[in-house]
Amino acid sequence: MKVLHIANLIGSNTNGIDYVVEKILLHQNALDKINVDQINLNNFSYKIAFDAINLNDVIIFHSIFSIKSWSLIFYCLFKNKPYIIFPHSGLTISSFEKSKIKKKLVMKLFLKKLIFKAAAVHFLNENEKENSYKFYSRSFIVPNGIDIDYDIDKKERQKYIAYLGRYDINHKGIDILLDAIKLIQDEFRNRGYTIIMHGYDPSNVSLNFINDFVAKNNLSDLICVRGPVTNSNDKINFLSHASAYILTSRYEGLPITVLEALSLDTPCLVSKGTNMAELIDKNGFGISCLSNSDSVKNMLINFFVQSENSGFKSSRSFLIDNFSWKTISGQLVNEYKKAINYGK
């Protein structure tokens, strides 16, 4: 079976889609009788793309709000070539709040039909599916995976809560997090906790907002804002020594950073919008909240109390059993085959 992945890639493993496509290619190509390739919409020619589509059995589109993707989907339809949409939370109702008018206009004009004609839409979990617009005719659910081929450093945890990812005020709910910290800043100081943030922002808009908020509210002793972590060993060190990892996103598909933190037995503090709240609450791997500052504030206070008392359950073995890329890659290929009736 030949599979072609098409995505907007920026060439950095700090970008979620880059990371996922890289891992899918690596692990699916290791499977028997599977050949997987990719096209980067940021560096391609239409002739090469058309030829590649013709040579493959199924095409996976990772970027749905892209003119280049739309043109290649139309080509797939022209050639009667089956394709699958992997929206990475891009169909969720919350995600439409960003560029709402443009997205709804494009959907009404033609994109809804392109999605409906897909062989399937790939959702990462039931929550993403339930909170997405029902523009599809068929779908399947397979989560993202994670490589867990490293040992945990058993050194004592340090009293910081980690954030790792893109600096995006609205999407990542950083404004909510900042407001919550402001509300309980004395609690942070009295208990000796800080927030350390590592991230990137190509536009600098969100980064400037964060820095201005910290300066205006005299929170520089509590919130440390740093650049991205690109080295895997540095990332492991940062997450494994944290007392907790926090992500208060308004919407997500299935955030890799939460999986990475859980694989290191780091408790996670997440909003319902991350689509990880149910798993974390059910298994005692951390605490969840709603996407508002009061709820985040209460979650943080509960974390302070619980971490000093009963603590949280180990999550590493659960991640190994359920989210290894080897397991996930095989599940995906099986779903691809079912979607296009491959071999029948």
Which tens digits make up the pLDDT trace of 57-111? 999 999 888 999 999 999 999 999 999 999 998 888 888 877 778 888 988 889 9
Q: What is the rounded CA–CA span in Å between residue 89 and residue 75?
A: 24
* Residue 314 DSSP symbol: -
Average pLDDT, the chain: 92
Q: What is the rounded CA–CA span in Å between residue 129 and residue 156?
A: 39
Q: What is the pLDDT of residue 107?
A: 85
Least confident of 36-45, 93-102, 330-339: 93-102
Q: What is the distance of C-alpha 11 from the center of its chain?
A: 16
Percent of the chain with pLDDT over 90: 72
* Inter-residue contact 239 to 260 (CB < 8 Å): yes
Q: How confident is the model at residue 230 (pLDDT cuts 50, 70, 90)?
A: confident
Compute the average pLDDT of residues 35-43. Answer: 94
A 10 A CB-CB count for 43 gives: 8
pLDDT of 343 strictly over 60: no
pTM of the model: 0.80
**If you search the block for the tokens 């603590």, which residue do you land on?**
311
pLDDT of 48 strictly over 90: yes
Q: How confident is the model at residue 310 (pLDDT cuts 50, 70, 90)?
A: confident
- Domains delineated in the chain: 2-145+324-340 (3.40.50.2000), 160-322 (3.40.50.2000)
Which tens digits make up the pLDDT trace of 125-137? 888 899 888 888 9
Residues 65-104 as b or e (16 or more Cβ within 10 Å = b): bbebbbebbebbeeeebbbbbbbbbbbbebbbeeeeeebe
Q: What is the distance of C-alpha 222 from the center of its chain?
A: 26
Which tens digits make up the pLDDT trace of 268-286? 999 999 989 999 999 999 9
The strand pair at 194-200 and 223-226 is best described as parallel
A 10 A CB-CB count for 299 gives: 20
